[in-house]
Structure 1
């Protein structure tokens, strides 16, 4: 039986013995447990945008960290706020763009690559899923030029990762390649530093 979120919280301790509280719905979103997410939302609609007191993540941010599309779709249909920021001042878009393949993904790709190129198709599929996730957030009205605690936008991170599929999506949504982070570096500067000529040209046209 589901316990009330007003009285039930999972309590953990970090290495400094600091008391930390983790919201169960955020844990469920991170772990891809749609059933639990749905139950918490049914109990109280305010859980949609609740922020974890450990790091300020919302259920939507947790789902985007792991690329759980079903949970992201569920939360967006219930009007989850795409522009809430966590303690690092990051939105769900920052995490969707920063998402990388997991170690398990890489392992599967390496193991399956020689088998009828299954590894390659798996890699393409994962890339497409991430592209769909970012597109969904942009369509939901996420602020494309939101900056985090380092002054970085989603475009900064996409350029750092040399992500050729996401950068055009962000530019179409009017991402500004000339915003400077706290190191004084723009997305265009990053592309130049990494010698990413194709993206550099794209960013120059956008700016």
Structure 2
């Protein structure tokens, strides 16, 4: 996935006014590119946000981002709370189709995620690639965030544009703890992607024995075939893991 960098407190960094790399959920922005309200939200200055709102709307966009997007991406839970309590729109999307909740999850900003979910943010909206907040939590990986999303009824077996579920992504990234967490929460071990490739096949392709054992323990079907007629064993052999 494309890595995104952040806007935040001023630090020493490269010339040109760009901020140095921050967290994976933050935006790559220059301070001068944003208006007063959005700069305040991105830097976590509640007083400046309050003042700027006298002239600007809560949901005003700047570079396709709302103040809530910027506050969530940089983990400023006080600004998030202030905006939410003043009835900003929770589910607006940025240019990548991502909601503030997705940005908070992507950056592993747990307090921001909690505020958004408590006020009704939709956990099942999908970005331009079809990923939901739970897909992003699986990739992080962060079981605490995944748990918050599931407690607010996020769909566990939702598929992105490639047909991958959060479980599939966790397997592909070899995230054993996340895989076991999702399985314990009821993720379907049999859901395949657009090529009918199951999580077991993905684990076999990478020769990840612990993941293979884990998936088998939850009932993964070793005889299942993808659209090419290949089984998990075939994937293991093809990728040099015949043992």
TM-score (norm 2): 0.64
- Pick one of 134, 138, 143 that aligns with 2:146: 134
Q: Report which structure shows greater RCO (CA 8 Å, sep ≥6).
A: 1
C-alpha separation in 1, matches of 2:58 and 2:96: 18
* Backbone CA RMSD of aligned residues: 1.6
| Cα distance in 2 between the residues matched to 1:25 and 1:179 | 34
Work out which of the two has the higher radius of gyration on C-alpha atoms and give 1 or 2.
2
The runs of 5 or more residues in structure 2 that have no matched partner are 1-50, 220-243
Partner of 1:22: 65
Give the match for residue 101 of structure 2.
60
Q: CA offset at residue 98 of structure 1?
A: 0.7
Shift of 1:49: 2.1
Residues 136-155 of structure 1, C-alpha deviations (whole Å, 9 max, x = no match): 22222111100001111111
Say if 2:84 and 2:119, in contact at 8 Å, map to a contact too: no
Counterparts of residues 124-203 of structure 1 (less than 5 Å): 130-203=142-215
The yes-or-no answer on 1:9 pairing with 2:51 is no
Give the whole-Å Cα distance in 2 for the aligned partners of 1:132 and 1:80.
17
Counting matched residue pairs gives: 166
Q: Report the Cα distance in structure 2 between the residues aligned to 1:94 and 1:165, rounded to whole angstroms.
A: 15
If each structure's helix is expressed as a fraction of its own residues, which one has the higher value? Answer: 1
**TM-score normalized with structure 1 length:** 0.74
The DSSP-based 3-state class of the residue aligned with 1:176 is coil
- 2:80 aligns with 37
The structural deviation recorded for 1:159 is 0.6
